[in-house]
Copies of this chain bind each other. A is one copy, B any other.
């Protein structure tokens, strides 16, 4: 089973690495990071670079495609090289997936036209403008298209997908292997229940406006 993870300049590392850590261990998985060129791609913080071992030109098919997101929403939705690749490989997949604002690239490629999907909470309006039907769930599976909410939601998506691909027993084994027994110290991960003040602070941070006072 060929798993292709598409990366590009300024992507968010955890969007890609969460699903990678679960799905690359599936029986028979052959995972490859793919980008417009075979080179390291630097993430949104500039402090991390992950290598694309294959170029888009070299990958004509995949059983699972994973598209991570990043903060440059307009750029992701209109990335011509990424979108052309998605249009090429999507017809070959068993599962076409995105994490966070990676859904904007799927939408830009026309893959989400009229399809229920989710993205980072701050990008839900844009997802609708691009023709998808936003659904406020953590993981949205519609046929072979699977979208996850922001960043860390890719782990939940991958476990859900692992059960579909390799069976629940194996998905549970992967959860135990990565000791995914989450115990966040706060309960602030959901935009629907977070305070308006906190939501405003995060939007300010995401647009790089200012650092907050602690």
* Chain A contact residues, CB within 8 Å of chain B: 12-14, 17-18, 20-21, 24-25, 27-28, 30-33, 40, 45, 47-51, 53, 100, 120-121, 138-139, 149-153, 155-156, 159-160, 163, 166-173, 175-186, 188-191, 194, 198-199, 201-202, 205-206, 211-214
Contacts and interface: CB of A to CB of B under 8 A. Distances in A.
Contacts of A18: 14
A45 B17 contact: no
A138 B181 contact: yes
Contacts of A160: 185
Copies, count: 2
Interface-centre pick from A172, A211, A213 (highest chain B CB count, 10 A):
A172
Contact of A51 (B40, B138, B139): B40
B185 A198 contact: no
A20 B43 CA distance: 11
Given A138-B181, A163-B185, 19 more contacts: A12-B21, A20-B45, A31-B47, A33-B48, A48-B50, A150-B178, A151-B179, A152-B155, A152-B180, A152-B182, A153-B179, A153-B181, A156-B182, A159-B186, A169-B214, A172-B194, A173-B188, A176-B189, A176-B190
Contacts of A152: 155, 178-182
A48 B27 contact: no
